[in-house]
Structure formats: C-alpha cells, structure tokens
C-alpha cells in the first residue's frame, strides 16, 4: 500500500485490478477500463481522417461509457477537454498571427516603395 500525499489517494496493487480511493470514492479499474480509456485518448487521431474528428470521436466514446465507470468518465473528460483546449489555443494563435503578418508585410511593402523611388547615379 502506497500513500500519495499530493493526490490524496491510496493505491492498492492487485493482480488485474487497481483500486483508487479519491476523496472517499472507491473506483474499481479493470483492464477493460484501461483499454477503453486508451482508445478514447487515441481516437483523437481521427482528426487526421475527417474534420473535427479529434473532438467528435473522443466525445462519442466518452459519452457511450461515462456512466459505466468513473475511470472512463475521468479519462474521457480529460481527452475531450484537451482537444477542445488545443483547438481554442490554435484559434487564438491564428487570430494573433493574422494582424502580425499583415503588419510585417505592410512594413515590407513600405520599404520596397521607398527603396524603389531612390535613384542612384
């Protein structure tokens, strides 16, 4: 038995089942729960196949099994939250880069116009 002071959990090791105690809630984690959670995380690669698949696929997998296991619910929320956050950060970065690009291209065009008006004899 191992006590984690940072996560307030007690982890008991058994043969194929882990028992997590998180704030007075006991969660039984089987190998199937771990496999399904891994598939939920890996389903974000569906974004390479169809648009917004990186959010839709984990959301569908999570919503299908969220009531069956707290472990799957926790990991499904984490996968969907990560993909939504990543999409939001990319959108905000694109909004930041667009004016910066227009500004630098504008400065470049001004420099070209000023240089082209100079005559060298």
pLDDT for 89: 95
- The three-point CA angle 112-118-120 to 5° equals 125
What angle, 0 to 180 degrees and rounded to 10, lies between the N-to-C axes of helices 31-42 and 53-65?
160
| Structural domain includes residue 1 | no
Name the residue among 121, 20, 115 with its Cα closest to residue 69: 20
Other Cβ atoms within 10 Å of 100 Cβ, number: 9
Mean pLDDT of the chain: 79
pLDDT of residue 69: 86
Instruction: Determine, yes or no, domain membership for 14.
Output: no
- Would residue 18 count as lying in a domain? no
pLDDT at 118: 74
Q: Has residue 22 been placed in a domain?
A: no
Segments in the chain below pLDDT 50:
1-23
| pLDDT at residue 105, as a whole number | 86
Please tell me the predicted confidence (pLDDT) of residue 70: 86
Q: What is the pLDDT of residue 30?
A: 86
Examine residue 41 and state whether it is found in any structural domain, yes or no. yes
On whether residue 36 sits in a domain, the answer given is: yes
Mention every residue, 6+ apart, whose C-beta is less than 8 A from residue 3: 10
Q: Is residue 49 part of a domain?
A: yes
Please give the residue range of the domain that contains residue 112: 31-117
Question: From CA 88, how far away is CA 85, in angstroms rounded?
Answer: 5
Provide the H-helix boundaries in the chain: 31-42, 53-65, 70-117
Asked whether the whole model's pTM tops 0.95, one would answer no
Domain-embedded: residue 8: no
Count the alpha carbons within 13 Å of 40 in the hemisphere toward its beta carbon.
Answer: 27
* Structural domains in the chain (count): 1
């Amino acid at each position: 038995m191992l006590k984690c002071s940072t996560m307030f959990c007690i982890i008991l090791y058994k043969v194929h089942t882990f028992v997590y105690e998180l704030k007075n809630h006991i969660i039984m984690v089987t190998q199937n729960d771990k496999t399904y959670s891994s598939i939920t995380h890996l389903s974000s690669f569906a974004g390479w196949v169809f648009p917004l698949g990186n959010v839709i696929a984990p959301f569908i997998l999570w919503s299908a099994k969220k009531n069956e296991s707290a472990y799957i619910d926790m990991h499904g929320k984490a996968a969907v939250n990560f993909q939504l956050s990543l999409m939001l950060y990319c959108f905000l970065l694109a909004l930041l880069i667009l004016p910066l690009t227009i500004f630098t291209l504008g400065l470049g065009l001004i420099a070209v116009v000023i240089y082209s008006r100079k005559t060298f004899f």
